[in-house]
Amino acid sequence: MASKQVILVTGGAGFIGSHVVRRLVNRYPNYEVVNLDVLTYAGNLENLKDLESAPNYRFVKGDITDEAFVNQLFAEEHFDGIIHLAAESHVDRSITTPLAFVQTNVMGTANLLNAARKQWEASFQGKLFYHVSTDEVYGSLGKEGLFTETTSYDPRSPYSASKASSDHLVRAYWHTYGLPIVISNCSNNYGPNQFPEKLIPLCINNIRKSLPLPIYGKGENVRDWLYVEDHATAIDLVYHQGKHGETYNIGGHNEWTNIDLVRQLCAIMDTKLGREAGTSAQLITFVKDRAGHDLRYAIDAAKIEQELGWTPSLQFEEGLTKTVDWYLANQTWLDNITSGDYQGYYEQQYHSR
Ligand code: NAD
Ligand code: DAU
């Protein structure tokens, strides 16, 4: 059994964070898992309802950008490790409100790094700051090639630039202070609990309501999709076995153009909803492209596969079907988060396209 430790997970009420928290709580009963989340529009405690009474789980509401709060939390608690996922995560929102991304992703990460350094400075032995990042820091690929851990950074949206800045800060704390760190850069995740501003849940929600499916540009952009639980498994492995100071790329070997992906989703939804084949695909609507839209992301995951023995467990069709099943079984979850603020966001984002 892994020895006792207290782990702080930031952003644990969000999409990926909730799967990471669940995995840690269920797999390591002698760990204390503390979930720190400020509960933005993307944070939802409903995602963790099943863990409410777990004895090794605690939720703390708080803001990683609040320096005094973060310092006090670190002074009161004795964290052995931090898995940092809290972030503003949606590229389209970063185009309309870039400063929020700088504030949370850059300043928030800097606050956590500083608090960890101060709290742990007597001895870094047994401590780890794990920063969860994105493949978008590497920029945009042409039709060929894959991102490796040594690909130069070339972020092109305010979101990816803010994540790249946070990665640089994390490495700076490793080189300058010797803070034990590890970073992973993952491709596009999909699965249960993803906020319906992102392509797959947005389309699932619109298909069930027979609303247009907005495809940016010609739908030719390519993303490499990974089922969220496979990402959580990789995070668990990197946290426990990753070499300190290193970066691990995580990806699905699963590249799809947006239009092909949405067509596949439409076919699955037609079957699930008992609609005639081809019905949902008629909702596909090409709209104005995203500003600075990266053409293609694709990950070379050889390092994590060879060094840590990780591979994705699900084929895409199976993962997409599980995802659709989850959203159809949790329509109240979807209805709750698409009421209120979401309507305003959706109008602003899509009405004029
Ligand atoms: P998400 O938007 O679903 O969740 C983010 C969470 O962070 C929310 O619960 C939110 O309330 C919380 N948060 C935001 N600002 C905060 C603050 N100031 N203080 C405390 N909590 C705050 O995001 P996600 O898609 O789950 O992504 C999680 C992490 O993984 C992010 O760092 C993201 O960059 C990274 N990532 C995401 C993907 C993906 O495909 N979604 C892929 C690779 C990496
Ligand atoms: O690559 C990892 C990144 O993947 C993460 O770091 C981000 O947090 C996550 O949001 C995701 O970024 P993308 O911009 O790739 O994901 P999104 O779901 O927003 O878009 C996927 C693709 O679909 C992208 O090419 C844009 C396109 N798209 C998206 C939306 C929301 C559309 O065509 N129409 C849409 O309405």
Task: For 123-178, write each residue's pLDDT tens digit.
Answer: 999 999 999 999 999 999 999 999 999 999 999 999 999 999 999 999 999 999 99
Residue the block writes with tokens 């993303």: 223
Nearest CA to ligand 1 atom 29: 85
- The answer to whether 19 touches 232, Cβ cutoff 8 Å, is yes
Query: Candidates 151, 183, 198: which one to mutate for ligand 2, based on the most atoms within 8 Å of Cβ?
Result: 198
Q: Please indicate whether residue 47, judged by its CB atom, sits closer than 6 Å to ligand 1.
A: no
**Residue 332: φ, ψ to 5°:** -70, -40
Q: What is the DSSP letter of 339?
A: S
CA–CA gap between residue 260 and residue 305 (Å, rounded): 27
Report the alpha-carbon distance of residue 208 to residue 333 in Å, rounded: 14
Query: Each residue of 268-278: b (16+ CB within 10 Å) or e?
Result: bbbebeeeeee
Strands (E), 217-283: 222-227, 247-250, 255-257
CA–centroid distance, 199 to ligand 2, in Å, is 6
Question: For 203-229, what is the mean pLDDT?
Answer: 98
Atom of ligand 2 nearest to the CA of 198: 18
159 in active site: yes
Residue 133, beta-bridge partner list? 185
Q: Are 94 and 156 in contact (CB under 8 A)?
A: no
**Binding site membership of 226 for ligand 1 (Cβ less than 6 Å):** no
Q: What are the φ and ψ backbone dihedral angles of 249, each rounded to 5 degrees?
A: -85, 140
Q: Summarize the confidence of residues 41-46 as an average pLDDT.
A: 96
Q: Name every protein residue with a CB atom under 6 angstroms from any ligand 2 atom.
A: 89-91, 134-136, 187-188, 198-199, 202, 214-216, 221, 223, 258, 290, 297
Ligand nearest the Cα of residue 41 is 1
Q: Which residue has the tokens 């630039």?
A: 161
Tokens of 154: 């070339």
Does the predicted model carry a pTM greater than 0.85?
yes
Per 3-state DSSP, what percentage of the chain is helix, strand, and coil (rounded to 5)? 45, 20, 35
Residue 135 designated active-site: yes
HSE (side-chain half, CA atoms, 13 Å) at 305: 12
Could you tell me if the CB of 43 is within 6 A of ligand 1?
A: yes
CATH T-level fold of 6-192+224-254+294-315: Rossmann fold (3.40.50)
Reading phi first (left if > 0) and then psi (alpha if -120 to 50, else beta), residue 230 is in: alpha
State the catalytic residue, choosing from 28, 130, 159, 346.
159
- β-pairing verdict for 31-37 and 5-10: parallel
17 alpha carbon, distance to own chain's centre: 7
Q: Check residue 2 and give its pLDDT.
A: 73
Nearby residues of 72 by Cβ (< 8 Å), 6 or more positions away: none
50 is catalytic: no
Distance CA 114, CA 67 (A): 9
Mean pLDDT estimate for the chain = 97
Domain range list for the chain: 6-192+224-254+294-315
Give the range among 113-117, 280-284, 338-342 with minimum mean pLDDT: 338-342
Nearest CA to ligand 2 atom 7: 89
Question: At 116, which amino acid appears?
Answer: A
Percent of the chain whose pLDDT exceeds 90: 97
Give me the mean pLDDT over the 61-72 stretch. Answer: 98
- The span from the CA of 91 to the CA of 108, in Å, is 18
Cα–ligand 1 centroid distance for 101 (angstroms) = 11
What gap in Å lies between CA 143 and CA 141, rounded to an integer?
7
What residues are paired with 130 via a beta bridge? Answer: 83, 182
Which residues 6+ apart lie within 8 Å of 123 measured at CB? none
pLDDT at 88: 98
Cα Rg of the chain, angstroms: 20
